[in-house]
């Protein structure tokens, strides 16, 4: 692949492992070409009508309006707080209220002095990258985040192609989302945005075509909006429930899906610990990201007796050497309506420390479960852990990888470590097709079996130990020499994908 200005793009960097593994297996050149770039790159725009807002004045501006009489707004839910300090102004604010406005400024006791800002139409950039579908329908998450790009989604979509092959589920790879900071929009605006995304993209989606799921900034609620928009008015709408996964269990979601990614991370850690003779009860864990993946992994590890000594997220880090009270932290982040950014910052059960100090904590296991490219070469030099279990997608840079390998810190690569989410998404899709409902125990037993088997094959490839046992056959995948685990994972993915092309052939 050609690099511009001598600097590799994020996608090009992410594809380095692909190139290495493709060389090692002497991949068919045409198949390689098919996989080097996505099948489709959809970039489109969605518009919504935003509501009026109350935007806080600076203290200097507010001083000029000191004599504006305080207003009292009676309807409790009329002002919806946003993370940037503004409030969405719902029309019901007028009901039974006593309001004074001066030149568009309002004074609300205990909240502040605000300017009323008119809402109106807004346009957002949206993406869906469909990387490959040779093994099954495109599959991958929807991300709502301010820092997304074509380059990022291309890398994440390709990762899904590898991940679904490694997890042995009959799906391909895709990823997409919207460039937005969702914390600065109301629930209703997010609903409209999600509906509009599907309205625009509907012709390219479907339970046998492209199946979205939650990712950073999205959740089961948003999946419900998307399913509704896709199925509403369709004659056989119940057949289409599998068009999105990660839904609430009451509307066709799977038991165990909410925690599946975190659960999968823990199954992989358990396997690593079993092999090393390492005991998880009492183990010291540090975790980055406390959203869906991070908080689920933390809850499961905590219940197993591990100590979560520090958690870092985008707004801060909390630390307690004896171990944080995880249920209390989950409550602080996810169940406290005043915590608008859903952050660990401000948690009273721990001490605030800097991100720099977070990386230096003496621990056994690091679980990155936030965004990509966090473990750079520099960070990897500072880590004092035995294992990095990648809950996030792409958390380690190439430099980071080289340093970790040099320092003999083990890595469980993202494509197997966080594959629990997409694996249970497949179980959800199967239940939807069959109109069945499986128990959480059923789901978790299947998940544990699938992840542990494929992680074992990856380790066989890495150590060049081809073998057939009761639960796995790694002989077709070993390449006659030892490789690092990330390359080993890619070899497993590519061999499985290549088989489809070679056995099915190409329609010219």
Does 418 contact ligand NAD by CB under 6 A? yes
Residues near 116 by beta carbon (within 8 Å), at least 6 away in sequence = 52, 53, 54, 89, 101, 104, 105, 106
Q: Between the CA of residue 174 and those of 36, 158, 160, 390, 416, what are the distances in Å?
A: 14, 7, 6, 20, 17
Between 207 and 421, name the residue whose CB sits nearer to ligand NAD.
Answer: 421
Between 22 and 216, name the residue whose CB sits nearer to ligand NAD.
Answer: 216
Residue 71: count other Cβ atoms within 10 Å of its Cβ.
17
Q: Of the residues 139, 154, 163, 175, which is catalytic?
A: 175
Distance CA 477, CA 109 (A): 67
Between 137 and 220, name the residue whose CB sits nearer to ligand NAD.
Answer: 220
Does 288 contact ligand NAD by CB under 6 A? yes
Q: Residues 115-134 vs ligand NAD: string with x where CB under 6 A?
A: --------------------
Distance CA 89, CA 79 (A): 5
Between 54 and 297, name the residue whose CB sits nearer to ligand NAD.
Answer: 297
- 40 φ, ψ (degrees, to nearest 5): -140, 140
Between 31 and 419, name the residue whose CB sits nearer to ligand NAD.
Answer: 419
Q: Which stretch binds ligand NAD (CB under 6 A): 2-10, 226-234, 275-283, 289-297?
A: 289-297
Q: Which stretch binds ligand NAD (CB under 6 A): 45-53, 211-219, 449-457, 474-482?
A: 211-219
Per the CB < 8 A criterion, the answer to whether 307 and 329 are in contact is no
Does 426 contact ligand NAD by CB under 6 A? no
Where are any strands of DSSP class E within 154-300? 173-179, 210-214, 284-288
Q: Which of 73, 211, 365, 369 binds ligand NAD (CB under 6 A)?
A: 369
By DSSP bridging, strand 105-108 and strand 112-117 are antiparallel
Tokens at residue 501, please? 């092309």
Does 254 contact ligand NAD by CB under 6 A? no
Does 177 contact ligand NAD by CB under 6 A? no
Q: Which of 173, 289, 350, 413 binds ligand NAD (CB under 6 A)?
A: 289
Distance CA 264, CA 444 (A): 9
Between 171 and 477, name the residue whose CB sits nearer to ligand NAD.
Answer: 171
Sheet holding 351-352: strands in order across?
351-352, 316-319, 307-313, 284-288, 365-368, 387-389, 410-412
Between 38 and 291, name the residue whose CB sits nearer to ligand NAD.
Answer: 291
Does 314 contact ligand NAD by CB under 6 A? yes
Q: Which of 9, 50, 254, 312 binds ligand NAD (CB under 6 A)?
A: 312
175 counts as catalytic: yes
CB of 60 to ligand NAD, least distance (A): 32
Stated as kind and residue range, the H or E segment containing 296 is helix 292-303
Distance CA 230, CA 244 (A): 9
Does 474 contact ligand NAD by CB under 6 A? no
CB of 259 to ligand NAD, least distance (A): 9
Per the CB < 8 A criterion, the answer to whether 131 and 81 are in contact is no
Does 292 contact ligand NAD by CB under 6 A? yes
Between 283 and 416, name the residue whose CB sits nearer to ligand NAD.
Answer: 416
Does 371 contact ligand NAD by CB under 6 A? yes
By DSSP bridging, strand 387-389 and strand 365-368 are parallel
Does 339 contact ligand NAD by CB under 6 A? no
- The DSSP line for 384-398 is B-SEEE--SSS-B-H
Does 215 contact ligand NAD by CB under 6 A? yes
CB of 502 to ligand NAD, least distance (A): 29
Per the CB < 8 A criterion, the answer to whether 142 and 227 are in contact is no
Q: Which stretch binds ligand NAD (CB under 6 A): 48-56, 97-105, 215-223, 470-478?
A: 215-223
Distance CA 260, CA 76 (A): 36
Per the CB < 8 A criterion, the answer to whether 133 and 172 are in contact is yes
**Residues with catalytic roles:** 175
The site for ligand NAD (CB under 6 A) is made up of 214-217, 261, 288-294, 312-314, 343, 369-371, 391-393, 418, 421
């Amino acid at each position: 692949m050609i690099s511009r200005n001598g600097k590799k793009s994020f996608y090009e960097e992410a594809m380095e492992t692909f190139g290495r593994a493709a060389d090692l297996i002497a991949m068919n050149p045409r198949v390689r070409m098919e996989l080097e770039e996505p099948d489709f790159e959809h970039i489109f725009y969605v518009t919504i009508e935003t509501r009026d807002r109350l935007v806080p004045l600076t203290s200097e501006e507010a001083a000029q309006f000191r004599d504006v009489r305080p207003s009292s707004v009676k309807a409790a839910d009329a002002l919806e707080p946003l993370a940037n300090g503004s409030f969405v102004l719902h029309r019901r604010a007028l009901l039974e209220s006593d309001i004074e406005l001066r030149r568009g400024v309002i004074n609300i006791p205990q909240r502040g002095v605000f300017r009323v800002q008119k809402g109106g139409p807004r346009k957002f950039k949206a993406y869906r990258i469909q990387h490959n579908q040779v093994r099954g329908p495109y599959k991958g998450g929807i991300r709502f985040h301010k820092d997304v790009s074509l380059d990022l989604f291309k890398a994440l979509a390709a990762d899904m192609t590898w991940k679904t092959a490694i997890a042995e589920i009959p799906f391909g790879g895709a990823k997409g989302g919207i460039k937005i900071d969702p914390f600065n929009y109301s629930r209703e605006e997010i609903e409209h945005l999600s509906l509009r995304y599907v309205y625009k993209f509907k012709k390219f989606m479907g339970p046998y075509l492209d199946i979205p799921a939650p990712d950073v900034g999205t959740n089961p609620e948003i999946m419900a909006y998307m399913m509704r928009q896709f199925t509403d008015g369709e004659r056989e709408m119940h057949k289409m429930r599998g068009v999105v996964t990660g839904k609430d269990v009451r509307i066709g979601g799977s038991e165990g899906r909410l925690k599946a990614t975190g659960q999968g991370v823990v199954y992989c850690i358990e396997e690593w610990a079993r092999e090393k003779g390492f005991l998880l009860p009492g183990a010291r864990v540090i975790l980055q990201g406390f959203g869906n993946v991070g908080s689920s992994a933390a809850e499961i590890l905590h219940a197993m007796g591990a100590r979560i000594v520090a958690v870092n997220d985008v707004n801060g880090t909390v630390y307690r050497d004896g171990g944080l009270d995880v249920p209390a932290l989950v409550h602080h982040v996810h169940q406290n309506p005043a915590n608008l950014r859903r952050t660990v910052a401000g948690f009273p059960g721990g001490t605030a420390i800097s991100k720099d100090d977070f990386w230096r904590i003496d621990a056994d296991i690091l679980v990155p479960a936030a965004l990509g490219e966090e473990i750079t070469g520099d960070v990897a030099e500072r880590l004092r852990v035995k294992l990095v279990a990648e809950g996030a997608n792409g958390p380690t840079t190439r430099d980071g990888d080289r340093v970790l390998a040099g320092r003999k810190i083990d890595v469980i690569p993202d494509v197997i470590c966080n594959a629990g989410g997409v694996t249970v998404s497949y179980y959800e899709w199967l239940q939807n097709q069959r109109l069945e409902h499986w128990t959480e125990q059923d789901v978790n037993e299947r998940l544990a079996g699938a992840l542990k088997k494929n992680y074992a094959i990856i380790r066989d490839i890495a150590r060049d130990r081809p073998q057939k046992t009761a639960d796995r056959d790694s002989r077709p995948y070993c390449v006659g020499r030892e490789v690092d685990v990330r390359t080993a994972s890619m070899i497993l993915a590519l061999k499985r994908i290549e088989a489809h092309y070679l056995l099915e052939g190409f329609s010219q």
